[in-house]
């Protein structure tokens, strides 16, 4: 006797549909994420090395312009629709570095640009970024307190 979908519980439906769910290529996805995430990091290291050799910076001085340039490249590639294609192929490998954060902010801004600069772009671009910024600020505050309590934050 056939059972109607309306009469099934969610557990019964899962059990019935499980043989038809395609497998997930976890290993392939991990390799893709590793390759693209690693490539982004190698490009970042190349940019930092370039700043160090061309402008005579040390690694600490070259860090900020390197991150700024990676963010700029990510925003340009997002605006051209290229970064999203890379992200579809690479998954988390393109989301984890700072370029992924810049991509998410730029994507939100582009998606809502028709609503205006203030309410559309400005109001929606920080939906994702806001939670990340708050988490980073709170985590830095807690780590700072722990360092102060342990006596690690003093001048050397």
- Written as six digits, the tokens of 7 are 């009469």
> What are the sequence ranges of the domains in the chain?
26-150
The pLDDT tens digits for 31-83 are: 999 999 999 999 999 999 999 999 999 999 999 999 999 999 999 999 999 99
Instruction: Summarize pLDDT for 10-31 with one digit per residue, the tens.
Output: 888 888 888 888 888 999 999 9
In 3-state terms, the chain is what percent helix, strand and coil (to 5)?
85, 0, 15
The DSSP line for 122-138 is IHHHHHHHHHHHHHHHH
């Amino acid at each position: 006797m056939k059972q109607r979908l309306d009469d099934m519980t969610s557990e019964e439906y899962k059990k019935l549909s499980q043989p038809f769910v395609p497998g997930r290529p976890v290993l392939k996805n991990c390799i893709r994420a590793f390759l693209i995430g690693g490539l982004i990091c190698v490009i970042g290291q190349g940019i930092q090395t370039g700043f160090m050799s061309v402008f005579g910076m040390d690694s600490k001085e070259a860090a900020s312009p390197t991150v700024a340039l990676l963010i700029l490249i990510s925003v340009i590639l997002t605006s051209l629709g290229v970064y999203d294609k890379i992200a579809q192929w690479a998954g988390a490998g393109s989301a984890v570095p700072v370029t992924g954060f810049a991509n998410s902010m730029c994507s939100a801004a582009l998606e809502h640009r028709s609503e205006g600069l203030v309410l559309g772009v400005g109001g929606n671009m920080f939906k994702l970024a806001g939670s990340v910024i708050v988490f980073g600020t709170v985590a830095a505050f807690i780590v700072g307190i722990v360092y102060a309590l342990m006596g690690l934050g003093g001048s050397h």
